[in-house]
């Protein structure tokens, strides 16, 4: 794959590092929406940059991307199938009785 | 199809890895949403150690892609040096993780403590196992690249390493940032 000879990898790495700093500092403000955007939204942007520029999916055969996206789609279907039962704690004829044990560590821990 | 056999094999491996990590992370996310109390456990993960490790993996991805670039230019010895630098990054990642886990286990947060910690150690442990596998393969590839042999393998192991990096990019906010 000689087509990407002029890609500036250091510049992409620097962008990834800036995004990392934002993803750490953003959630510290304690705003839920901002946490979702900075932590999880930026994770998708970082993953996209790595996949496109470092894994060279932008110049790889298109069907390779289709296969990878199909695998992700399977996971979304799995999530959609299981999540309603896992997330809810009761339905019309069932109730979750399991109680998660509380854990008290030896130290206060760290943020 | 025009994709070399070795690279094709790596893509197939990664397709199966997406299902492995996707299933695990998907299960974690749905349980996390269903158990808001897990936030009380998540505050005990060390966001600075996780952030530093993210930086280390991103940097090791840079050296891996530069090794690929060197291999494309036919410079095997340079590619080998950069691959070994990538392995060093993997080593730093594991050392930080070892200190992190030691602290957490010492404080009483073990894999059997509750479901949050079970997911934490399973996901991070499975990822660390992939880091170790990548490091071993990379050292083997670097040995042949140093002799200007099998240079196409540099790209193949690089693709795998970037995938391991991407998995961590998602593990970091899920396990360390979402408090």
- pLDDT tens digits for range B107-130: 999 999 889 999 999 999 999 999
Coil, helix or strand at residue B68:
helix
Q: B178 Cβ partners below 8 Å, 6+ apart?
A: A27, A35, A39, B32, B39, B42
Tell if the CB–CB gap between B34 and A89 is shorter than 8 Å. yes
Fold assignment, B5-177: 1.20.120
Band of residue A82 on the pLDDT scale cut at 50, 70, 90: very high
pLDDT of A4 reads 59
Tell if the CB–CB gap between A61 and B18 is shorter than 8 Å. no
Distance from CA of B157 to the nearest CA of A (A): 10
Q: Which range, A33-47, A92-106, B79-93, has the best average confidence (pLDDT)?
A: B79-93
Nearest by CB: B11 against A67, A89, A103 = A67
Tell if the CB–CB gap between A54 and B162 is shorter than 8 Å. yes
- Arithmetic mean of pLDDT, A14-22: 96
Tell if the CB–CB gap between B72 and A86 is shorter than 8 Å. no
Band of residue B2 on the pLDDT scale cut at 50, 70, 90: confident
Q: Are A14 and A25 in contact (CB under 8 A)?
A: no
Nearest by CB: B54 against A20, A53, A72 = A20
Whole-number Å distance between alpha carbons of B115 and B155 = 38
Least confident among A4-8, A27-31, A77-81, B7-11 = A4-8
Question: Considering Cα of B26, then B155, then A3, then A66, what sign does the dihedral take?
Answer: negative
10 Å Cβ neighbour count for A103? Answer: 17
Counting beta carbons within 10 angstroms of the beta carbon of residue A22, is it exposed (0 to 12), middle (13 to 18) or buried (19 or more)? middle
Residues of A in contact with B79 (CB under 8 A): none
Whole-number Å distance between alpha carbons of B70 and B73 = 5
Nearest by CB: A86 against B30, B64, B172 = B30
Distance from CA of A90 to the nearest CA of B (A): 11
Q: Are B145 and B154 in contact (CB under 8 A)?
A: yes
Tell if the CB–CB gap between A86 and B115 is shorter than 8 Å. no
Distance from CA of B146 to the nearest CA of A (A): 21
Nearest by CB: B22 against A5, A64, A71 = A71
Tell if the CB–CB gap between B177 and A24 is shorter than 8 Å. yes
Residues of B in contact with A2 (CB under 8 A): 72
For A13, the closest chain B residue by CA position comes to: B62
Tell if the CB–CB gap between A109 and B43 is shorter than 8 Å. yes
Which is more confident, A110 or A90?
A: A90
Nearest by CB: A103 against B27, B108, B159 = B108
pLDDT tops 60 at residue A68: yes
Longest dimension (CA), chain B: 55
């Amino acid at each position: 794959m000689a087509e990407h000879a002029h890609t500036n990898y250091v510049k992409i790495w620097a962008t990834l590092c800036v995004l990392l700093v934002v993803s750490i500092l953003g959630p510290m403000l304690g705003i839920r929406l901002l946490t979702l955007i900075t932590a999880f939204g930026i994770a998708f942007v970082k993953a996209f940059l790595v996949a496109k520029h470092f894994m060279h999916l932008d110049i790889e055969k298109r069907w390779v991307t289709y296969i990878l996206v199909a695998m992700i789609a399977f996971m979304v279907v799995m999530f959609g199938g299981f999540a309603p039962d896992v997330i809810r704690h009761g339905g019309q004829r069932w109730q979750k009785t399991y109680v998660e044990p509380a854990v008290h560590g030896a130290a206060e821990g760290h943020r | 199809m025009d994709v070399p056999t070795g690279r094709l094999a790596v893509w197939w491996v990664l397709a199966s890895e997406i299902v492995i990590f996707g299933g695990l992370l998907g299960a974690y996310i749905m349980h996390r949403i269903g158990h808001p109390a897990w936030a009380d456990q998540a505050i005990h993960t060390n966001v600075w150690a996780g952030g530093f490790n993210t930086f280390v993996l991103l940097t090791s991805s840079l050296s891996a892609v530069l090794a690929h670039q060197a291999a494309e230019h036919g410079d095997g010895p340079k590619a080998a040096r950069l691959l070994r630098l990538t392995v060093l990054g993997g080593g730093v990642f594991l050392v930080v993780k070892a200190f992190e886990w030691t602290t957490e286990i010492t404080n009483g947060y073990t894999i059997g403590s509750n479901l949050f910690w079970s997911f934490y150690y399973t996901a991070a442990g499975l990822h660390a196992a992939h880091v170790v596998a990548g490091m071993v393969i990379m050292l083997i590839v670097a040995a042949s690249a140093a002799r200007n042999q099998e240079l196409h393998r540099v790209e193949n192991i690089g693709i795998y390493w970037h995938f391991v990096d991407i998995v961590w990019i998602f593990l970091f906010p899920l396990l360390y940032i979402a408090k």
